[in-house]
Structure 1
Amino acid sequence: MAKRVIRVPRLGSPASSHQQGATRYSEFLARNLSQVDAALDTAVETVLRLPTPAVRSTAHSEDGLVYVEGTPYAAWGHNYLARPCLDAGHGVVLPRRFTATDPIAGALDDLTAACGASRLLADVSGPETPPGTALLIGAALASGVRIAAFHPHLTYTHASGREPNWRSLMIRYAVHAHLKDREAVQAWLAM
């Protein structure tokens, strides 16, 4: 969490005349570089003064609990991932943030549940992952939760270049398993 906000209260004033061959971006950079340098120096000094964080182990609420994060881009809802978990004898927690009357409380509940579960199973299908999924995956990884990404078929983002859905490095490298079908989900749950 941000403990300090570093502000540069005033940007440099625009030049009254345009410099030959300069773009408006290079002119903006030239007149504001000292403010950016000062803000960066302040940020680095602040980080260097932070105390070393203590390593803490996260107690998982239940060994068999699986936090299941479905995709909003599929009509099948969460049941297609929750059912194999239940069939394998695991408890299931579903996200609350999308339907909660208080979305902030729902998001905090999701964060607590994802970090307290023994496993997190996230469907990363669709043009984008659900809002907050990458954050939950990163927080769960830091909490020692085993994570799997369900991605049954190749999809593309709306970004230029049309790269495959595995564009998020946090998701790609934080998960312990990439699952393509129900059988892979069942095998991962049996591990």
Structure 2
Amino acid sequence: MLYVAHRLFAAHDRALGAQTARILGETAGDDNVFLPFCDTDEEDLVADIKGLRLFELDSARLRYLSGMLALLHGPSLDDGVCMEIGFAAALGVPVVALTTDFITYAATPDGPSWSFPDPLIDFLAADVISARTLGAAPEGRSGRFADFEHRNRAQLVEAVHLACQRLLELTRPAQVNDQKPAREQRLAFVEPSPYGARADGDEIGAKLHELGYQVVTANRLSVNDRLDGAAADWATAISADLLVVDVSGPEAPPGAAAMIGAAVARGRTVLAYNPAPAWTFAHGREPNWRNLMIQYGVSGMFATSAEIKDLVRE
């Protein structure tokens, strides 16, 4: 099964997802492609807790993938898509990322660049296909706006075809080793906010030490080689017994979301620090304090370090 991960909440994003799934299905077969929202029948789905049911349906599909094509745009990446990328990567499923903007990122003005705000997403992607250059202008001019629309559509179609072709070259069944490494002390991996230090940061680490955990904090955004740092953070995070992530802000940061997906795939405990949740509302769904893939993926949410003890599973 091939999974098209994409932002769901705007019609143009769903249209791009559908276009991608259609092109992928032309080669792989429509029955071998899963498109969220469409294939969970979200518009007409009836459930006591709709968001939870959607999480269950999508998570069930994620466990039986042979490949994922993830659509990503702009500096604020969709946290649900990033969660799904982490889930797939933790199971050894290849992820091809298709980025539809021309932005790249670097630690210094003249340093090596990567495609996404958090280099962890670059590290997890088996390949990145970019739609950064406009397509060729049409031969018969029909007005500057129509011509510009054509050039953008051509740009997207070409990139989608390339991404689908690359994904089909990489597909393989999900495989995961769920055995935890033998260690004398339980390991907690802490993923801080990339947007600045939080007042509770030191207190969270101290509380985890108090509960008997060895604590390792992500540092990929503070080292010289960010991609090597991403690899080191990922290796530690997926072997940890406990993941603690700062998801505060308008949406979970990309790396935090990917780490959550990996922990869910491997059955690890995930605690989300969110001192001031911002609630969102979507037609037919229950209120959410975060993207539903994050909200239902985590084991518990806390606002102060004092609450951690009651959330940690012994």
Please give the TM-score of this superposition, normalised by the length of structure 2: 0.46
In 2 relative to 1, CA 7–96 (structure 1 residues): closer, same or farther, beyond 3 Å?
Answer: closer
Query: Who is 2:299 aligned against?
Result: 176
Q: Which amino acid aligns with 1:150?
A: Y
Q: Aligned pair count?
A: 181
Kindly state the Cα deviation for residue 28 of structure 1 after the two structures are TM-superposed: 3.6
Query: Who is 1:104 aligned against?
Result: 227
What secondary structure, in the 3-state scheme, does the structure 2 residue paired with 1:121 have? strand
Question: Structure 2: which 5+ residue stretches go unaligned?
Answer: 1-124, 280-286
Q: Is the contact between residue 260 and residue 294 of structure 2 (CA under 8 Å) also seen in structure 1?
A: yes
Please give the TM-score of this superposition, normalised by the length of structure 1: 0.69
Q: What per-residue deviation string (whole Å, max 9, x for no partner) do you get for residues 61-86 of structure 1? A: 34721111233544426212112211
Q: Percent of aligned positions with the same letter in both sequences? A: 30
Query: Who is 2:265 aligned against?
Result: 142
Kindly indicate whether residue 173 of structure 2 is the aligned counterpart of residue 69 of structure 1. Answer: no
Bigger Rg, which one = 1
**Bigger strand share:** 2
Kindly state the Cα deviation for residue 55 of structure 1 after the two structures are TM-superposed: 2.2
In structure 1, how many angstroms separate the alpha carbons of the residues matched to 2:166 and 2:151? 25
In structure 1, how many angstroms separate the alpha carbons of the residues matched to 2:152 and 2:273? 45
Query: Who is 2:204 aligned against?
Result: 81
In structure 2, how many angstroms separate the alpha carbons of the residues matched to 1:102 and 1:10? 31
Query: Who is 1:123 aligned against?
Result: 246
Q: What per-residue deviation string (whole Å, max 9, x for no partner) do you get for residues 9-36 of structure 1? A: 98232456444xxx71x43444665675
Q: What per-residue deviation string (whole Å, max 9, x for no partner) do you get for residues 76-117 of structure 1? A: 262121122111112211112233233322222111111110
What secondary structure, in the 3-state scheme, does the structure 2 residue paired with 1:187 have? helix
Q: Which amino acid aligns with 2:233?
A: D
How big is the alpha-carbon RMSD for the aligned residues of Structure 1 and Structure 2? 3.7
In structure 2, how many angstroms separate the alpha carbons of the residues matched to 1:37 and 1:99? 37
Q: Which amino acid aligns with 1:12?
A: A
In structure 1, how many angstroms separate the alpha carbons of the residues matched to 2:267 and 2:211? 21
Question: Structure 1: which 5+ residue stretches go unaligned?
Answer: 157-163
Q: Which amino acid aligns with 1:64?
A: R
